[in-house]
Structure 1
Amino acid sequence: MASTTAAAASQPAAPSLALPPSQFARLQPHAYLLAHLSPPASSQQPSIRANGRAPSQFRVTSANTGSLTHTNGSAVVRVGDTTAVCGVKAEILHTEDIASWSVSHSSSSPSNKRRKLTNPTEKPGEDREDGSKDDEDDDNSYIEDFSLLVPNLSLSTGCAPGFIPGAPPSALAQSLSHQILSLLHSSRLVRAEDLEIWYQRPNFGAEELERHNEGEQMDVDAGPEAEEANLEAREIKAFWVLYIDIMIISLAGNPFDAAWTAVLAALRDTKLPRAWWDVDNETVVCSDLVSEARKLSLRGLPVASSFGVFEADAAAGWRAVVIPDAEEERKLAESERKGIQRRWILADPDGYEEGLTQERVSLVVDKTSNGKVKLLKMEKNGGFAVDRKELKDLVDISARRWDDINQILQRC
């Protein structure tokens, strides 16, 4: 009896027919994610993603500024396992080196830049209550015409499988660089006046020289005529060009949100030295005093939120069906009647989920000082599942995401 028991104990156990979760996720990724999002009704479990998040939940986000030396501003942002590093370097561009620059720019623009605010308490560049903007937005054409903002995104070697040394810039990197540049222009985040370097020509008329010699304060109660003359005496001599370099050092899905948040944090950290035109040397001179450097006065805080649509039918994303046929409509109606969910909108998809979603939605929102939500950009591609009502819900989710990012950047 004892020998029989020992022999049975020495025999190896029968292998289990069940697949471990890691192998199940690799062999059947769609079924694996669907099993998490659509648990059996008897289990009374909520719909949850394979990474443990709710469908509308974003990954943990952190930010740190001032991490890079020899830059005017820098930031490191981590969204889950996706990490983006951004550095901003400022260089001077003389107007004489701009081929399209002419005398009309320097002679006519100052008078056109007079701030005519209807309410003295308004800040330049803010939206008024009637929805209009002040004249400051007109000079933002300089930024786009003269390429004063130059973003460049690169995917570092080893950030994800497939990125090998010596490979040319990928299509993803070029697409992300173009998206960031387009959003910088459309959101008018950077003010053109922060990038202008002016020269104030002295005006030594007889009356002004006499008042100056008597030690009186000049330009006090000067009136509109004197103010106009003072503006006409100003001339733009150079611009600051901001080179915004972003590097994705770890790619685990949704690189655009991480890269754009890094750009926001780096620009909020950017300081430009005090610069002026030296008449004797005919060049721009910068002060080396850190106390005289000034930060950029950014216009708002546009926050990007990305979403992916996961279909219960694995082939739904591959069928180019604009108008569902009768059979498809019947299935949808039957699913709604039974309360069966056929698709999920996943916020901040990770790398595993991006390979299973065909339709993508990206929203950029901002909030005014009174809490009003402004939709700055909406991009939807890859399908026709998301309707108007769901887009409205995504705007509300993006507004809550704005509150989270605002608190994170405030602590930097």
Structure 2
Amino acid sequence: MASSAAASNPTIPSLNLPPSQFARLQPHAYLLAHLSPPAASDQPSVRANGRATSQFRVTSANAGSLTHTNGSAVVRIGDTAAVCGVRAELLHTEDIASWSVSTASEAEAGNTSQKGGSKTEDEEDRDHVQDLNLLVPNISLSTGCAPGFTPGAPPSTLAQSLSHEILSLLHTTRLVKADDLRIWYQPPNLESEEFRNAGEGMDVDSEQTGGPEPEIKAFWVLYIDIMIISLAGNPFDAAWASVLAALRDTKLPKAWWDADNETVLCSDNISDAQKLSLRGLPVSSSFCTFEADAAAGWRSVVIPNADELKSQAQKQGSQQRWILADPDGYEEGLSQERVCVVVDIEDGKTVIVKMEKHGGWAVDSDDLRQLVDVSAKRWHEMKRILDQC
């Protein structure tokens, strides 16, 4: 009766819901229906956005987009877009409160140290780049990138945590070399016969042997500003990729110490500017887990052993969880456990720079090995994209 009435009267609305409305009313069931379709439907297991579980969104990068910076880049991963600008400012050593004390202690340690007492390059980078805060990243989400972030609002907890993660990763990877940020000065050897004979015509910047040790007069401080202009999930990968692209585009002017004016001078010639010599190309890949049981995140009785979880799935003949690469905002809201893997490839070997997992215990060691392989494939893709930008 109802069907015949609906057929005879076309003004009666249909009871079928469009997919977008069903996704809002039952988000977990909607994603589960895509990942675990009925066997009789012959449909593949895909995510709601049409991607496979290990597939990343379409990524693009464009360097040199900002004109009033030393380096800049725009990176878009799906609908998540990040703009990064690098500004270089001079920091004189005389403005560093602890510089005279640290240099005096280093000189004293150098005089009393025996064989093998000199500092390594890693220790020097940590002493200068990390201890002097020569890299200052800052992420801004108050750009209207998402409904929850209004323009002009104070920094959110997410923005502060992302800034801290990027700063920590910059220090862990030692991406920027301290020697690129130092401005040296070679004092003249006033006791040499060459200096006495040359008089005022001597070039004090020329190389000398047996004279005073070169001095560090200033450092370059890199202010790395990242703006998320569109947020649709996975902001860290987009922000870190924009930092990588911007640092690869950064050029520092040729600078030297003018002993007469006791200041640092910079060349206006663009051809004299030098690019940063970065260490490697660490690429970040983020993942999240989706549980078939919607109550797995808050139920008091849980399965703490991953082997028991797999055996239960085998008995039921269905998959109980999925690890999704590059989650969008819709998938992040349905996941409890997050994984971030940062890898670099050196001489054909995959090097794990950072591996972080939080929010659960479903991902085991076997899963992490598979995620490292997926991250290595992502590294090759990101290298091709960054080389072309």
Shift of 1:167: 1.9
Q: What code does the residue aligned with 2:72 have?
A: S
**Residue equivalent to 2:364:** 387
1:313 aligns with 2:293: yes
Distance in 1 between residues matched to 2:135 and 2:272, nearest whole Å = 23
Distance in 1 between residues matched to 2:102 and 2:270, nearest whole Å = 35
Structure 1 residues 40 and 354, CA gap change in structure 2 (3 angstroms) = same
Q: What code does the residue aligned with 2:381 have?
A: D
**Residue equivalent to 1:4:** none
- Partner residue of 1:290 out of 270, 273, 276: 270
1:399 aligns with 2:385: no
Distance in 1 between residues matched to 2:12 and 2:302, nearest whole Å = 51
**Residue equivalent to 1:366:** 344
SS in 1 for 2:374: helix
Shift of 1:332: 4.9
> Which structure 2 residues correspond to residues 224-239 of structure 1 after superposition, within 5 A?
226=209, 229=210, 232-239=212-219
Structure 1 residues 240 and 20, CA gap change in structure 2 (3 angstroms) = same
CA displacement, residues 305-361 of structure 1 (integer Å, 9 cap, x when unaligned): 000000000011223667549xx9877524213541000000000000000000000
**Residue equivalent to 2:241:** 261
1:159 aligns with 2:157: no
CA displacement, residues 201-222 of structure 1 (integer Å, 9 cap, x when unaligned): 1225545459989x9xxx99x9
SS in 1 for 2:13: coil
Runs of at least 5 residues in structure 2 that lack an aligned partner in the other structure: 111-118
- Partner residue of 1:149 out of 124, 135, 139: 135
Q: What code does the residue aligned with 2:354 have?
A: K
CA displacement, residues 147-175 of structure 1 (integer Å, 9 cap, x when unaligned): 10000000133211122233211111111
Structure 1 residues 107 and 332, CA gap change in structure 2 (3 angstroms) = closer
Structure 1 residues 257 and 402, CA gap change in structure 2 (3 angstroms) = same
> Which structure 2 residues correspond to residues 116-127 of structure 1 after superposition, within 5 A?
none
1:240 aligns with 2:220: yes
> Which structure 2 residues correspond to residues 130-209 of structure 1 after superposition, within 5 A?
135-140=120-125, 141-206=127-192, 208-209=194-195
Query: Quick check: 270-279 or 9-18, which moved more?
Result: 9-18
> Which structure 2 residues correspond to residues 216-227 of structure 1 after superposition, within 5 A?
226=209
Q: What code does the residue aligned with 2:156 have?
A: S
Distance in 2 between residues matched to 1:334 and 1:395, nearest whole Å = 26
Note if contact 2:296-2:302 (Cα within 8 Å) is conserved in structure 1.
Answer: no
**Residue equivalent to 1:357:** 335
SS in 1 for 2:91: strand
Q: What code does the residue aligned with 1:33 have?
A: L
SS in 2 for 1:243: strand
Runs of at least 5 residues in structure 1 that lack an aligned partner in the other structure: 1-6, 113-133
Q: What code does the residue aligned with 1:315 have?
A: A
Q: Between Structure 1 and Structure 2, how many residues are aligned?
A: 372
Structure 1 residues 67 and 329, CA gap change in structure 2 (3 angstroms) = closer
Structure 1 residues 97 and 269, CA gap change in structure 2 (3 angstroms) = same
Shift of 1:138: 2.0
Note if contact 1:359-1:383 (Cα within 8 Å) is conserved in structure 2.
Answer: yes
Structure 1 residues 18 and 234, CA gap change in structure 2 (3 angstroms) = same
Structure 1 residues 31 and 162, CA gap change in structure 2 (3 angstroms) = same
- Partner residue of 2:52 out of 51, 54, 61: 54
Query: Quick check: 10-19 or 35-44, which moved more?
Result: 10-19
Shift of 1:19: 1.4
Distance in 1 between residues matched to 2:153 and 2:350, nearest whole Å = 42
Note if contact 1:322-1:384 (Cα within 8 Å) is conserved in structure 2.
Answer: no
Distance in 1 between residues matched to 2:12 and 2:102, nearest whole Å = 87
Following superposition, which runs of at least 4 residues in structure 1 exceed 6 angstroms of deviation? 7-10, 210-213, 328-331
Distance in 1 between residues matched to 2:251 and 2:49, nearest whole Å = 39
Note if contact 2:304-2:361 (Cα within 8 Å) is conserved in structure 1.
Answer: no
**Residue equivalent to 2:314:** 336
SS in 2 for 1:357: coil
Structure 1 residues 338 and 323, CA gap change in structure 2 (3 angstroms) = closer
Distance in 1 between residues matched to 2:296 and 2:21, nearest whole Å = 24
Distance in 2 between residues matched to 1:280 and 1:300, nearest whole Å = 39
Query: Quick check: 239-248 or 97-106, which moved more?
Result: 97-106
Shift of 1:379: 0.9
Distance in 2 between residues matched to 1:352 and 1:68, nearest whole Å = 31
Calculate percent identity across the aligned residue pairs.
Answer: 70
Distance in 2 between residues matched to 1:348 and 1:9, nearest whole Å = 45
- Partner residue of 1:29 out of 27, 30, 51: 27
Distance in 1 between residues matched to 2:307 and 2:257, nearest whole Å = 70
TM-score (norm 1): 0.84
SS in 1 for 2:169: helix
**Residue equivalent to 1:347:** 325
SS in 1 for 2:375: helix
Q: What code does the residue aligned with 1:193 have?
A: D
Shift of 1:8: 10
Structure 1 residues 300 and 29, CA gap change in structure 2 (3 angstroms) = same
Distance in 2 between residues matched to 1:301 and 1:9, nearest whole Å = 63
**Residue equivalent to 1:87:** 85
Structure 1 residues 233 and 324, CA gap change in structure 2 (3 angstroms) = closer
